[in-house]
Amino acid sequence: MKSTITAVLFGATISASIFTPTTNADEAILAGGCFWCMESDFEKLEGVTDVVSGFTGGNTPNPTYNGNHKGHYEAVKITYNGDMLSYEDILDHFWVNIDPFDSRGQFCDKGPSYLSAIFVANEKERAIAEKTKADVVAQFPNQKVVTPILDASTFYPIKGDEIGHQDFYKKSPVRYKFYRWNCGRDQRLEEIWGEKALGKNKS
């Protein structure tokens, strides 16, 4: 009896592995200032399945929010359904959620860790990123686009005692909305991008 059940379960497992459709999951790593806000903006994009806050771009091992993250950017790792969104779609959404002209940080947050950046994993991603950046440059010929395109490096997700930063906009919605409003993020995005910013569900 036990062997029969095992055979049935084994057969079901094989059947599921053959006939269950797989999702074409892709990832992108982006820095756009406060990772609370980036997480919120990208989790609202249909086709995005997960957004993780963390640090990347520096040489300091195991960076932390309250400790040493020198050289690192606050960033998010975005997992998305490649059958619904392209990498270019992700970057198009990225640009209208940042101030690409700010060389000191993003919105009210200033300092190296709050700078914007695109981290590319390969030459294909770099070519797409360069194209989208060129489109932004062409759209704003009288302003300097300072957001760099950098090689991807180790991404360190927020963890341990600092895990509260993950999904902060869900865990502490009142504090998050107060911070975002005081920071002037949406006001500045509307100033730069107009209807492209107005059309997004901010919260």
* Residues known to be catalytic: 34
Question: For the purposes of burial, counting CB atoms within 10 Å of the CB of 174, is it exposed (0-12), middle (13-18) or buried (19 or more)?
Answer: exposed
Element (H, E) at 123: helix 123-139
Q: Which residues have CB under 8 Å from 142's CB, separation 6+? A: none
Please list the residues that pair with 48 across neighbouring strands: 80
Element (H, E) at 128: helix 123-139
